[in-house]
Chains A and B, each alone.
Chain A
Amino acid sequence: MFFTILNLFQTSEQVTVTESERYLLVYMMVVLFVLTTLIILFFVTFQKRKNKLLIEKFEQQKRFEEEIIITQQEIQEETLKHVGRELHDNIGQLLAVASMQINLIENTVEEKSRAKVKDTSNIIKDSLQEVRALSKSLNTDVIFNAGLGPSIANEVERINRMNVLEVKMKVEGEIMDFENKKDEVIVFRIFQEFVSNTIKYANAKSIEIMLSFTPDELDINISDDGDGFDISETKKGAGLINMENRAEMINATYQLNSEVGKGTSLNLKYPFKPKSN
């Protein structure tokens, strides 16, 4: 029954179409064509506007996140600076006084205790040196003034004195100062983060640092011979994310490679001239 009704569409009489009916057909098709094209055009303009809004929203979000990162960074630097200054001014001062006094005592004590006092005096002197070096590596202003190369060299010496692992450093090309001094601090902090991660987790025996300066960019390669980890499976901790964020902030390309049993390496390329993109 249903199908017979549907079949009303399919008459079988012999008929011809009149001229006006043909015009009607063409007219109908033209109208339909124009209408559907209009619908599509309407859709396209609407979509374009929406895309524009979406992009704006996205950029705003990005700016906001960048702002947060920068603020975070500033707070951190401020804290480090404060700790560094406290170390230098308070503990350093106390140690200096202690060192002076023990030097005075050294000459007054009996012969048999003198060696021990001498040792203690040396330990205090070493501590003083350590505290000063540490405060230097923490204080942004010092890095700011000394420049990246000397700061890294200073840090390398400090770690080597700790006798936990051996750090080798190599510099290629002529050391250049950054145009933006703040970026030097950030590169230095990335380096520090990597080294401190290696010391904490990697069980490494040595770290190799390679700084190559070219007129266009600074290429930093740091690698350790520690345990390594699986990047795809390990959850990124604050340290790793911070390194990445910092690198992004200064437009440096950041590449961290690690494999279980093969150690970890970091490649950082800092362009001296800002890329125009």
Chain B
Amino acid sequence: MQFFFYHYSLFSLLCSFIAALTGFLLFDKFKNTNGRYFIYYLFFVFIIELIGGYTVFIDRNREFLGLRDCLLNTPFLNNFWWYNITWKIVAVILLSRFYQKVLENESFKRILKVSTILFTIFAFFYVGFNWDIYLNKSLIVLKLTGSIIVLQCVVFYFLELLNSEKNIACFSSLEFYVSAVILIWWLTTMPLDFYNVYFDANDKSYIKLRYGILFIANLLMYLCFSLSLIYSKPQNK
């Protein structure tokens, strides 16, 4: 267990790597479909995780002690600033772009587009007004508003499927599985964010719990993404 928690960020990186690798290998299959935007998203997530791991890397390697000392009294010693901007803002916008391509209903598309723009503006101002928190803590408000956008995407997609007369092949489409997995993941991991206070306060037993849960959730999510990439059939619009 000790080993797992020590290398947690590596394991977590491995999860997203599996999904990104599957996406890379199967890119040809989805080259002409909307699936390619989802694969770009997987690449992006992998890069977030890769760069985000820099804090742990610097911490554990003696050669970088000098660099660590440089960062010592700056916010960059932690990676909150990085995850706040990439995971909480850009990833949400990318996901919303993906669904804007997938959805066919014009009014759903428009609502999604407008709310994404509003979210972007809000995020911009929120970060601007709370620069200190942005640098040092995880921004739960952005996470919540971002979740609204993501859930909107998924709900719109399911509504469209329910209303459509022609989507006979939806059980072999990538979008369907991705939506199901995203819905489960976002709703299930949401409570974790309300416990962030304890995470910030370095509560050991909570941190272990959180890592354990997040790891299982991430592993399942990325494995499901990989499997759905393998299993689904590309659908041309």
A contacts, CB < 8 Å to B: 3, 6-7, 9-17, 21-22, 25-26, 28-29, 32-33, 35-37, 39-40, 43-44, 46-48, 50-51, 54-55
Contacts and interface: CB of A to CB of B under 8 A. Distances in A.
Nearest to B181: A40
A137 B126 CA distance: 84
A29 B201 contact: no
A10 B205 contact: no
A3 B192 CA distance: 22
Given A7-B133, A17-B206, A47-B162, A36 B188 contact: yes
B51 interface: no
A51 B190 contact: no
Nearest to A21: B195
A10 B144 CA distance: 13
A36 B187 contact: yes
A54 B168 contact: yes
Nearest first, the 6 closest Cβ-Cβ pairs linking A and B are A16-B203, A17-B198, A17-B206, A33-B188, A36-B184, A28-B191
Nearest to A57: B165
A40 B130 contact: no
Residue from A10, A12, A15 having most chain B Cβ neighbours under 10 A: A10
11 contacts: A17-B205, A22-B205, A25-B192, A29-B189, A32-B188, A36-B183, A46-B162, A47-B161, A47-B171, A51-B168, A54-B168
Interface in B177-214: 180, 183-184, 187-192, 194-198, 200-201, 203, 205-206, 209, 213
A40 B155 CA distance: 11
B188 A29 contact: yes
A48 B129 CA distance: 49
A54 B165 contact: yes
A17 to B, nearest CB: 4
A10 B130 CA distance: 11
Given A16-B201, A55-B168, 14 more contacts: A3-B129, A6-B126, A10-B140, A10-B196, A12-B200, A16-B198, A17-B195, A25-B191, A25-B209, A28-B191, A32-B187, A32-B188, A37-B184, A54-B168
A43 B203 CA distance: 40
Contact of A13 (B129, B158, B201): B201
Tell me the interface secondary structure of chain A in the complex. helix
Contact of B195 (A3, A25, A40, A55): A25
Interface residues of B, number: 38
B25 interface: no
Nearest to B128: A3
Given A16-B203, A43-B158, A22 B209 contact: yes
Contacts of A47: 161-162, 167, 170-171
A21 B205 CA distance: 12
Contacts of A3: 126, 129-130
Nearest to A37: B184
B126 A40 contact: no
B68 interface: no
Contacts of B197: 10-11, 13, 15
Residue from A22, A26, A44, A55 having most chain B Cβ neighbours under 10 A: A22
Given A29-B213, A55-B168, A40 B184 contact: yes
B137 interface: yes
A91 B197 CA distance: 103
Nearest to B190: A32
Nearest to B133: A10
B213 to A, nearest CB: 7
A26 B168 contact: no
